[in-house]
Amino acid sequence: MSEESQMREQICEMARSLYMRGLTCGASGNISVRLTNGRLLVTPTGSSFGHLDPARLTLFNKGMAQVSGDKPTKEMHLHSAFYETRGAQTGAVVHLHSCHSVALSVMPDTDPDNMIPAITPYGIIKLGKVKLLPYFMPGDPKMGDAIRGLAGKRSAVVLAHHGPVVAGKDLEAAVNAIEELEESAKLALLTRGLNPRVLDQAQINGLVTKFDVDWD
């Protein structure tokens, strides 16, 4: 089986897992994966993660011209901006409309530069600092501009009122990271107003150093 065929199957398998566990619903969310030949596989617009057809995924060439498949997600601006700014660090991008991440994005005291409190080490290891971006209408090209404005310094962002977007070295890493983001957001909401103990700066610095985390 070719790399492209394997990746088509993997995208559908992982998307179905996210859907079945309620991490995105209806026809929300999108995934892209960059193949070793520079081509890009993308989930189509209006498609449900629970019922993706590997043969109907959108395929782009290296010049970002569509080669085959259904009409791509309208959030291509998000995906292309991550590939442009993070280069070889990004082999896949996942965007969800997951509940707790969205809820945390609209809380008035959420820190827009680092929206996930340091409750566990895993959010730090897998995500680094998570940037909260402002609201954009779905499909607005300005979302891509906002990602480019970060100059490749963040692998994870949350769009206010919309949902998280995470770039990873491959699809599995991106999926694991976005799941960690959603669980971290859930913990933040569960402990909200309870004055929880969080990791101190020395503990955070130790994680950043040991696991080579981007922490800018």
Catalytic residues: 75, 122
Which DSSP category does 190 fall into? Answer: H
- Residues whose CB is less than 8 angstroms from the CB of residue 68 and which lie 6 or more positions away in sequence, other chains included: 58, 59
Task: Give me the DSSP letters along 111-176.
Answer: -TTS-S--SSHHHHHHHSSPEEE----TT-THHHHHHHTTTT--SEEEETTTEEEEEESSHHHHHH
Burial of 55 (0-12, 13-18, 19+ CB in 10 A): exposed
> Is 119 in contact with 191 (CB distance < 8 Å)?
yes
Structural element, H or E, at residue 89: none
Q: Is the dihedral of CA 149, 153, 155, 159 positive or negative?
A: negative
> Is 62 in contact with 35 (CB distance < 8 Å)?
no
